[in-house]
Structure 1
């Protein structure tokens, strides 16, 4: 949902005429969605940690693009901070520990 919000935000903040922000938001939203999807595939289950790099990039872009930051860049900062908070949570955080789980019958 964060990727959907970031993809829609240029239209919400009225900056769709700025090609840099428009395509930047679209490409970052696509990378967030791809990393989230990859994190549910067993071989790439730690892909969600790469979201931290995307989040840091968003915060830096939002902070240093313009001073003072317009609402579209303030949105980048907030999304980046939000992604930093949730990127460190593993996908199976709501599951009980493996030692508590009953092994599947053979």
Structure 2
């Protein structure tokens, strides 16, 4: 029993020291508990992170909608990607323009 009392006494002394430092507002935990400015700053930071997270969620939702629309063949890009006839016509037009430009250079 005597062998265990020394480490136990040291542990209790350490816990008392930590508790005293916290109650004096020292260290991170003590400052968070007793420093109103730091506490307010932490709350503001958490609030800003939540707002940023909400904005990211909205941006991701918007991006998913755009991708879904493109995959459904909606909009100019969607039609170019999904409508084979329109793609072929656009490719032919670009080829015609390239050939016309080459002829003008000659």
Length-normalised TM-score, structure 2: 0.28
**Which gives a bigger RCO, structure 1 or 2 (Cα 8 Å, sep 6+)?**
1
Which one has the bigger helix percentage? 2
